[in-house]
Chain A
Amino acid sequence: MIKRIYLVGNPNVGKSVVFSRLTGVEVIASNYPGTTVEFSRGYLKLKDDRVEVVDLPGVYSLEPNSKAEEIALRILNELPKEEFIVINIVDATNLERNLFLTLELIEEGFKVIICLNMCDDAKHRGIVIDVKKLESILGVPVIPTCAVTGAGIKFLIESILKAKQIFLNKLTHQQRWQKIGEIIESVQQLSHRHHTLREILEDASVRPLSGLLISGGVIYLSFKWVRFLGEGLINKVFDPFFFNLYKPLLEKFSFLLEKKGFLHHILIGELIKGEIDFKQSLGILTTAPYIELAMVLPYVLAFYLVLGILEDIGFLPRLAILLDNLLHRIGLHGYAIIPTLLGLGCNVPGILSSRILESKRERFIASTLISIGIPCVALQAMIFGLLGKFSGFYVSGVYLILFSLWLILGIILNATLKGFSPELLIEIPPYRFPPLLVIFKKLYIRIKGFLIEALPIVFLGVIVVNILLYFGLFDFLSSIFSPVVEGLFGLPKEAAIPLVIGFLRKDVAVGMLVPLNLTAKQLFISAVLLAISFPCIATFIVLWKELGLKDLFKATLIMIIVGLSVGTLLNFSIP
């Protein structure tokens, strides 16, 4: 009786894609080792049974050398060997290295079936694998697939129950590599051909000078594209929709409510000069959807589209090599660029993915730095939206300050925390060009996640401020904070409420600043404060989960100290 199916394979061989194909569960897949830091579960209908499928983090061997390998090993030993099947996913473009784990799995006595993935890519690279011969040497079924397009998956499902348990003597490492050499010799043929453009680019991007030029160009273009796409979507799609279609409707509704009363206040908000003002009315039908859908969503779409393309091509690990040196100065190594970049989208997945770093010390530094120095795309969108109308100096100023803080704080943490930064050891994946459909599917998963998580909290934030205003509590509450807010930061005392609302979500907090008619300097200080001071509630919870209570307090204390001092410093140093 089969109770479970485990997907086991090296990092970055497409386990998550196979998992989605088998179970229909939507998971994020990318082209770099370590996309899956948690294991996902789903179900597959097999004959008349529903069998649980578990996607394990990628491992290179069954010896526990890393956190991912420890987790995988623990899970594989949960059930007796007769009750589960291992689908070993193997990258056909790199059969040799993948077979090490395969042999270990077979030697261990698991029921194994091999899914020889990325067969189409292997063909493009002139690699021919004799599947029948491989099957007969290994003694377990081998099914060629291309999970990205879905080819071979049906056959894989039909063959799952043919998974075989055979008993081999355990080999020593040297013997195992020797056996792999023999297997490769007899089943794999490489056709000689000239280097393709792709291979030339793959090599160029890991050499110092060409790598720097390529990465510089890619990053510059990515930022340009996010700005261009984000602004384009706002001006051409979202603003026209809100102003030409939605506003007239709301105005009729406002008229029906006779433009006053509690309900009008909650739903529409205050009328500014007799009209609905999406940025200032503060109603849950006006400001709430406008902030999140017309100001933030366009940039979220643009950012995740560009990030998704960079991820799937396999660009990010190359960036890790270039930045290794810099990141060592702050106690991390090059691969920490991946959580950092994910943090630019949203701090939550950024902090979660810091699990790809080896030590607790690195994870603490990376998570703390992300929650202080890395503004999420929602906050960035609002900064563009509000500060963009003043001189460009202010927008770049925010980035400059955040980057300096990130660097200085990192250097301080590295110098004061016990321990050292481990060495980089990563696999650089080949460049791959996934079909557009795959990129859009990932974008869809992320946008759906964003809307589900963000919208309720934005509505909550707007309602809180709205009700405080209605009952006249706004002034009273702001007075409590006025010594800090007015005295130290030079902001009007009413800015205290938005700063506190920042604990719910940063974007809605910036939105709440609009009705205060701040000067450019005040807006600038508030934006920096919101970025560094205190994480939003979602980030706070994930920090707690990942770091534990003690380190969470440490991180929070650092944030408060940094927030207070930077806010004060800016106030007194900007004329």
Chain B
Amino acid sequence: MLNTMTTNRLSLVKLKQNQKAKVLEILGGVGIKQRLLSLGIYPGREITKISHFALRGPITVKVGRTTLALGYGMAEKIIVEII
């Protein structure tokens, strides 16, 4: 329920191509948080969206020097803030 009022708070799905953003929080269970964390996605981290595939397809992001592909449902749970 943090920051619900800020307007530039959005899910990774809504972020545009090549936009940079800071991760605010990850909705969802411990399992997914842990998996994302060990890959370097955690609150406070800067990420860049690279692409988005049509029809609820996967989303690719760059975190540091790592390129990750994640499913639509997972990307929906990653809440970011444009920077």
Interface residues of A (CB under 8 A from B): 60-61, 63, 65-66, 93-94, 96-97, 100-101, 173-174, 177, 202-203, 206-208, 211, 317, 320-322, 324-325, 333-334, 422-428, 430
Contacts and interface: CB of A to CB of B under 8 A. Distances in A.
Contacts of B17: 207
A324 B58 contact: yes
Interface in B25-69: 31, 34-40, 42, 44-45, 50-58, 60, 63-69
A202 B67 CA distance: 10
Nearest to B77: A423
Given A66-B35, A206-B69, A321 B64 contact: no
A333 B68 CA distance: 15
B74 A425 contact: yes
A11 to B, nearest CB: 10
Contacts of A94: 64-66
A301 to B, nearest CB: 32
18 contacts: A60-B35, A61-B34, A93-B65, A96-B64, A100-B40, A101-B38, A177-B42, A177-B45, A206-B60, A206-B67, A206-B69, A207-B51, A321-B60, A322-B53, A333-B71, A423-B70, A424-B70, A425-B70
B53 A425 contact: no
A217 to B, nearest CB: 18
Nearest to B36: A425
A424 B67 contact: no
Contact of B58 (A66, A101, A424): A424
Contacts, number: 104
A551 B61 CA distance: 37
B30 to A, nearest CB: 10
Contact of A325 (B42, B55, B60, B65): B55
Given A61-B38, A63-B34, A203-B50, A321 B74 contact: no
Given A97-B39, A325-B56, A325-B57, A426 B68 contact: yes
A207 B50 contact: yes
Contacts of A321: 53, 57-58, 60, 69
Given A177-B42, A425-B39, 6 more contacts: A94-B65, A96-B65, A321-B58, A325-B53, A334-B58, A425-B35
Contacts of A428: 60, 67-69
Nearest to B69: A321
Interface of B: 17, 31, 34-40, 42, 44-45, 50-58, 60, 63-74
A208 B70 contact: no
Decide if the interface of chain A is mainly helix, strand, loop or mixed. Answer: helix
A93 B68 CA distance: 15
A64 to B, nearest CB: 9
A206 B61 CA distance: 10
B28 to A, nearest CB: 10
Contacts of A208: 51-54, 57
Contact of A427 (B34, B37, B51, B67): B67
For the complex of A and B, list the 4 residue pairs with the smallest distance between their C-beta atoms, beginning with the closest: A423-B71, A61-B38, A60-B38, A428-B67
A206 B62 CA distance: 11
Nearest to A122: B65
Contacts of A325: 53, 55-58
Contacts of B54: 208
Nearest to A178: B44
